[in-house]
Structure 1
């Protein structure tokens, strides 16, 4: 038998010439909605109506997927490992192959979720690229994805698929939606629809883009903006119960939830360190000290 490919891809070739869009799912092995959405998308793209080519990757990180985990057996976070190394560990090899795919493309969409431990509200994001043409293309792509929040963040973060795309001047966006160990059908269908909408915006499909209302479009050029796990950590280990919901508005000092001891005799309130909109929440109740509990998109600074 031939050796197993590091990354299994699906290519849809259009009957008309055009550009090349690459779509990633499963960079983390426990994020299931993108995997299902990309398989659905494969059935929705009609080659007779396609200008150019679409490469679909339902599961970039197969070793992590097969071990029911965010990371592969080397315990490296693939989303911090780009551009990788062909001679490195398994995650570094996958990152190198994924970087090669990015270099071959004209555009990139990378789909994510909150994984098994958390849920995320639907939003699309992009880096504040130094090249104004790349930046404006990314804005258009993120807007066309038709999610209620659009977030432009630091171009200086390392190790991501968008970092590799940045370095090769490939316009790229990512999206986050759902998680919590299931596979939300609304997120699956919404992701497929968002990809089709971006394809229309990029003229890979000849149809009008129907833009939905956006609640928040924030651009934040601070050095660490876009690092989702940076704020609102657990002060102690214990049983976390949130007091807010996704898309709630919160202010600094508002209660996000409580962390309880095993017997419930000790209950510690956890308060927000930022003012803004709740984009992510820990859903797995047991937390360890310093693990993140909430992602807040700052609407005021």
Structure 2
């Protein structure tokens, strides 16, 4: 970890120790020529310490992640005891304006990293984030939600074998830690290649705000900041009620029929093989198919859509735990 210099220069703005500043991350105007300002909120302590970046809204419809970073700012948690905290609540401001996942060019920002200064709009935003912001930070916490009506249990996703990430994930204290590979051209993979430890938080579903998910994200952020010696003395970091469950492997239970769907298994719950998870019916009273657990495990995602098609993902269930934690 490289501790910050006396002055910090981001996007041609200089922020001195002890200073607060809002910097504009501008990339392109709307098609009406209206400027689009993406605020970056920077808070610096007078005391030297790490630099932590909080990001959300890589996908514009993932409002719950944005709400977590908003609360971190609104409550003053982003005012560090030592070091610097940088918050970008909405990276994909274009998608957020329309509550859509993608950029106006139809691209998924989280598949465009590290980007290009001469590429598509999404690629240019990715490039600017990687070249202008990431070089200044030591740790990243990136907040996401489930998509397409699928509700994620609060969870941290990391790759297996990274000791520091595993330690930070345990400290964060979400109910689940899911081992998952870094996807090519994702923000997480790019940070990994640049040796910037990133915790990816998933919780809730798109276009929705859930208090339990929000509290899990905010409390986890406070715990990590306390671990780094950065949490302001005005705040306390709570102890998680339960130990994290580390999930080594998992699978999706998919719909065998199209129809009307109602889940009976609850998010976060532990089920046994053969337990009833939900049922699929048709509008005419002829079909009533019972969805049962193919194995014992924890339910970490539930599809909350009332209508499903054959092959749709209904439940994400753990298949193998990592008990050596």
Secondary structure of the equivalent of 1:17?
coil
Q: What is the CA distance between 1:293 and its match in structure 2?
A: 1.4
Is 1:240–1:259's contact at 8 Å kept on the other side of the alignment? yes
Is 2:261–2:281's contact at 8 Å kept on the other side of the alignment? yes
Which range moves more in the overlay, 136-145 or 90-99?
90-99
Aligned equivalent of 1:282? 303
Which range moves more in the overlay, 96-105 or 19-28?
96-105
Which of 4, 7, 11 is matched with 2:42 structurally? Answer: 11
Is 1:247–1:278's contact at 8 Å kept on the other side of the alignment? yes
Aligned equivalent of 1:139? 166
Aligned residues: 287
CA 1:69–1:14: 2 relative to 1, 3 Å = same
Q: What is the CA distance between 1:180 and its match in structure 2?
A: 5.8
Q: What is the CA distance between 1:173 and its match in structure 2?
A: 0.7
1:1-301 correspondence to structure 2 within 5 Å: 3=29, 4=35, 7-45=38-76, 49-100=80-131, 101-115=133-147, 117-129=149-161, 135-151=162-178, 153-179=179-205, 181-205=207-231, 210-218=238-246, 220=248, 231-299=252-320
Is 1:149–1:214's contact at 8 Å kept on the other side of the alignment? no
Aligned-residue Cα RMSD (Å) equals 2.8
- Output the TM-score relative to the length of structure 1: 0.82
CA 1:265–1:96: 2 relative to 1, 3 Å = farther
CA 1:73–1:211: 2 relative to 1, 3 Å = same
**Equivalent-residue separation in structure 1 for 2:215 and 2:269 (angstroms):** 24
Which sections of structure 1, spanning at least 5 residues, go unmatched? 130-134
Secondary structure of the equivalent of 1:232?
strand
The answer to which structure, 1 or 2, has the higher relative contact order (CA under 8 A, 6+ apart) is 1
**Equivalent-residue separation in structure 2 for 1:123 and 1:66 (angstroms):** 26
Q: Which has the larger radius of gyration?
A: 2
Is 2:78–2:85's contact at 8 Å kept on the other side of the alignment? no
Aligned equivalent of 1:132? none
CA 1:299–1:65: 2 relative to 1, 3 Å = same
Which range moves more in the overlay, 48-57 or 93-102?
93-102
- Output the TM-score relative to the length of structure 2: 0.77
**Equivalent-residue separation in structure 2 for 1:48 and 1:38 (angstroms):** 13
Deviation digits for residues 202-245 of structure 1 (CA, Å, limit 9, x no counterpart): 2223668553243443252xxxx58xxx6222233322211211
Which range moves more in the overlay, 237-246 or 38-47?
38-47
